[in-house]
Structure 1
């Protein structure tokens, strides 16, 4: 049997005390939710800038070195157009064929292309063997761009890289010989 106080009242919390405790709990929960939302917003900003701070400089360094070392280049609508022997284009290309002069005077070729070889779309590099057969991409330079296009404007090669969050980077250089 439960003992009751001598004055006949039961022990417990009053309505005011319960209301105060619940309001403090709700305030703590709302502050926690605000902090969580701030963290999520920061993460979205960080991910949006990740392409610009990590991938874009790497793509830029590679493009400067490889395209700058090329003897000449040709643009193709896509890799399939190249494989099918279609004529080169000047705009709207997703495949860039680069030719390099070796030290013995011979030429070798490679492809820089935006394609989806079954592992996801990205900017891929492919070496063309001496027999001329075009294999699948050898390695991915980056899988983050949403689109990469090549064009020749006023004799100058332009490469436009669209990032996953709408960023757009433009590489310009190397006149067509």
Structure 2
């Protein structure tokens, strides 16, 4: 008897099967890369709006609360002008001196200023001691603004805040007393 030869099926993949598998793999990789780039774009947008969504409302809440309780205020070019006793200004101020009337009739003061006390530029709050000189700020309200300026326009206090990405916000306060 003759040996019956079995036809063996070839082992492995054909060129067409390999090409198809590689094409599918490349398409999946490209789609994954596109999704990754889209996520990076969303992250950049989110970070750019972080100041507007997180810091700006917090600054607004604080400034509204503090300024509305002040008896009066004065604007100064910078913290050195305030310390040196320079005359107050109406525009281009970096320092807002607020005065508050206590329950016993005495006055106390605090300062809202855009300065760099050595820890980086920012919007700082300083409580003025009853007697003695003004020292460094007590705390940073926000270190994200790139510029903060105060002005009195038509008798209304305005605070212009420029964010880290060039955003400009203007807060309007009370009339000058």
Q: What is the TM-score of this pair, normalised by structure 2?
A: 0.87
- Report matched runs for 1:21-36 at 5 Å: 21-36=21-36
Aligned-pair CA distance for 1:86: 2.3
Aligned match of 1:105: 105
Aligned match of 1:43: 43
Aligned match of 2:116: 116
Aligned match of 1:56: 56
Unaligned runs of 5+ in 2: 1-5
Listed one character per residue, the Cα deviations across residues 52-85 of structure 1 (whole Å, up to 9, x for unaligned) are: 2222221111111111111111111111221233
Aligned-pair CA distance for 1:8: 10
Runs of 4+ in 1 over 6 A off after TM superposition: 6-10
Instruction: Give the Cα separation in 1 of the matches to 2:22 and 2:88.
Output: 72
Instruction: Give the Cα separation in 1 of the matches to 2:118 and 2:29.
Output: 46
Instruction: Give the Cα separation in 1 of the matches to 2:54 and 2:63.
Output: 15
Listed one character per residue, the Cα deviations across residues 2-42 of structure 1 (whole Å, up to 9, x for unaligned) are: xxxx8899744443333222222211111111111111121
Listed one character per residue, the Cα deviations across residues 65-109 of structure 1 (whole Å, up to 9, x for unaligned) are: 111111111111111221233222111111111111111111111
Aligned match of 2:126: 126
Q: What is the TM-score of this pair, normalised by structure 1?
A: 0.87
Instruction: Give the Cα separation in 2 of the matches to 1:83 and 1:17.
Output: 81
